[in-house]
Structure 1
Amino acid sequence: MAGRIRDEDVALVRERSKVDEVVGEYVTLKRAGGASLKGLCPFHDEKSPSFNVNAARGYWHCFGCGEGGDVISFIIKMDHLSFAEAVEKLAHRSGVQLRYEESGTAPNRQKGERTRLVEAHAEAEKFYQAQLATDQAKTGRDFLTERGFDAQAAASFGVGYSPQGWDGLITHLRAKGFQDREILTAGLAVEGQRGLYDRFRGRLMWPIRDLAGDTVGFGARKLYDDDQGPKYLNTPETPIYKKSQVLYGLDVAKRDVARSRQAVVVEGYTDVMACHLAGVTTAVATCGTAFGSE
């Protein structure tokens, strides 16, 4: 792991990460006079808003459950991250280049594992989206068209296509400066007897995002009869993807879910797309076959 994040960089992340803007990505906030905002607490069930954010002082506090803190502590609690992971997430959001105390690690490790894995997924998402426009992806486009989704709908949900070759994504990520170890850790490749090969091949790809909108995994639907794999193939458990902690579509549904205090849980990715396009903006789907104990 990279060394300890420098204190001055942590302070800069706090300064650039406005607490009202960050919290507002998770909670619907309304003006409550002066620099204060109010909303329903995301950490306990309530019908009357007791969750307060003070933009001028940079802190939040819930008078109902007693939770409170600064912007970093909010992300720690909301996204179940460590302190370093929360700082890295906010740094990525606010464009802060973090520096780490010397620990003898390789240069790419200095950015922190979470940041590198999120960046790898962002690059993979762009790659898959570009592939959807190729001749090879016609079967995938036909699949979407038959279900009533046009190019605009596919783009709005980030749908892409993974080419049928063995190393298309790996070659692309290597060219972007990612190491094989990072590609493996991200769950984007599998290690075989002859080296790495792409985990997802010849499939429609849906990016799975966390609450902050970072792509942390993919759901892949097979398209061809000669594909011996499962109908749906998901990213395995990784340092940034825990399927029991992620709901597909919650990144776009979170505001309406918070407002209505309920979510419509549907079966799959296309069901979420259809619901949102039909105006059911609280639709989400699990990233597995069943709910976990969490």
Structure 2
Amino acid sequence: MRFTNYKSIASAGRNKFDLASIRAIPMRAVAIDLGFGLTAGGTGRCRIPGHEDRNPSFSIRSATNRFTCYACGENGDVIDLVMKMRDISFVDACEWLTGRHLGGASVRPEMRQRPADREAAAKQPPIVPAKTEHAAAPDHEAFEWLLLVSKLSSSGYDYLASRGFSAETIAHFRVGQIGDRGEAMKTAVARFGLERLRRCGLVCDGKFGNRFVFPAGYLLFPFIIDGNIAYLQARRPDSGTQWRWLCPNSLLPPVFNRSALSDSTATISICEGVTDVISAHELGIPAIGLVGANARLDDTTLDLLRGRNVAIFGDRDTAGSRFARRLVDRLAGMGVTAIPKRLPLGANDLNDHLRRIKGIAA
């Protein structure tokens, strides 16, 4: 089901939906109504049909009232979530939401007014909306500063080495590590101001007020585009599964390691996420990475892919197979031919394959 095919539909027969009110229904309430179990921070296991989420990959953003699954790649607003979960149309999803959360008031208020009332309302001066917060946007300077002050510790280096990454590879990808979380936030606020940090997603709403998004000890992976850090993703430096990956609040991730497209390499691979891209580099395979199956493929990246042989490496599971199939189809629609690659038997992902080659126990 493609959500965008239904976005232009605002009515069906006599039903005229108040889409603004529907989309304002709190995402948390809708997700819980659909059976999601969420933490106080808005994360949990994805329950979207077809995705067997082994780790908490589903997240809601209160600032935008949208959801994202960083494993299967699905994202959208409350209507999108209902459509996906119940396998119903845009119109039926609006009916379901208004019936469950708006007391059945699905008809736009202006459609219920008498003609005289509508005429009087039309003569009223328009209401100028209050100034809203700035939209989320990357902050190259703030991201660069954070990476520079987040030196990789020996424990972080040991973890990366246990994944099969050499010192040269670790240096190539400029991996950092968050030190003291409170001190990082205090220094960042003094340097950049709270509003700027919230706008670039480094600070978000926490249970007790403003919260720095990256905890102490988390590894930092920069997404560098044209020499600037456009995004940061953080990973816990151990085998724990809770809060494994964290990212800036409300920012969508760009392509990881786009510099792999800077030369005339004939074959380029596309992987799921950061770890597999770094594993591919260690194996001598030029690769870029997408975080989530619906991650952005910007026009510049597409132009750089055209004319090359493109291979897709998905994980050896249902979600990985779906990632590869969808990406092959999406690229084909954009004029890029790609083929899915199967991992060697016994390897769940490229990092498994790398560690087996190096004789590192899983």
Task: Give the alignment's TM-score, normalised by structure 2.
Answer: 0.40
Task: Give the alignment's TM-score, normalised by structure 1.
Answer: 0.48
